[in-house]
Amino acid sequence: MPQQIDATELLARLNNGEQLNLVDVRGTMEYHTYNIGGLNIPLLKLEEVISDWDYNKTDEIIVICKVGLRSKTAQTILQQNGYLDVKNLSGGLIALQKLK
């Protein structure tokens, strides 16, 4: 069962001031239009940059996109590269915006 985090839990953790490892895999224009922070690494570039980033394989990483499809692909890529705690934001940023 793929690991997921829902919008309600993510929003609560953000509101608590928790420092989260967010990776937004949308395109740059989408990211600059609306984002909740984190690294912006477009999905197509993810495999190129994985070897250069600072996350440990055991860090919790939350991947996000607009509706949760690209981030699900990103989750698979990260898991295939040995990352153990990768969560996909179910429903994506659309679900998060509905709560605000």
Tokens of 36: 């909740």
d(CA 64, CA 4): 11
Please, what are the domains in the chain?
4-99 (3.40.250.10)
Report pLDDT for 54: 87
Closest CA to 61 of 49, 28, 94: 49
Report pLDDT for 45: 96
Report pLDDT for 60: 97
Walk along the chain (100 residues) in steps of 10 and give the mean pLDDT of each run.
Answer: 90 96 98 96 95 92 98 97 97 94
Q: Distance from first CA to last CA of the chain, Å, rounded?
A: 28
